[in-house]
Amino acid sequence: MPDGGQTPRVLKVDLSDRIATVTFNRADKRNAVNDSFIEELDRFFSSPPKNVDAVVLAGAGGHFCAGLDLAEHEQRKSIDNVYHSRNWHRVMDQIEFGGLPVVSALTGAVIGGGLEIAAASHVRVAEPSVRFQLPEGLRGIFVGGGATVRVGRILGPDRLREMMLTGRSYGQEEGLNLGLSHYSVGEGQALSRAQDLARRIAQNAEFSNYLMIQTIPRVANMSADDGLFAESLAAAMSQTTEGAKEGLRAFLEKRPPRFRD
Cβ(120)–Cβ(180) below 8 Å: no
CA distance 129 to 108: 5
Catalytic-labelled residue, pool 74, 96, 127, 136 = 136
Cβ(95)–Cβ(121) below 8 Å: yes
Cβ(8)–Cβ(31) below 8 Å: no
Instruction: Tell me the longest C-alpha to C-alpha distance in the chain.
Output: 64
Catalytic-labelled residue, pool 39, 72, 74, 116 = 116
Nearest alpha carbon to residue 65 among 150, 138, 130, 144: 130
Contacts of 220 (CB under 8 A, 6+ apart): 153, 227
Report the first-to-last Cα separation within the chain, whole angstroms. Answer: 30
Cβ(143)–Cβ(164) below 8 Å: yes
- 127 in catalytic set: no
Nearest alpha carbon to residue 27 among 70, 55, 66, 56: 66
Q: Cα-atom radius of gyration of the chain, to the nearest Å? A: 19
- 136 in catalytic set: yes
Q: Beta strand pairing status for 11-16 and 7-8?
A: unpaired
Classify 179 as helix, strand or coil: coil
Active-site amino acid positions: 116, 136
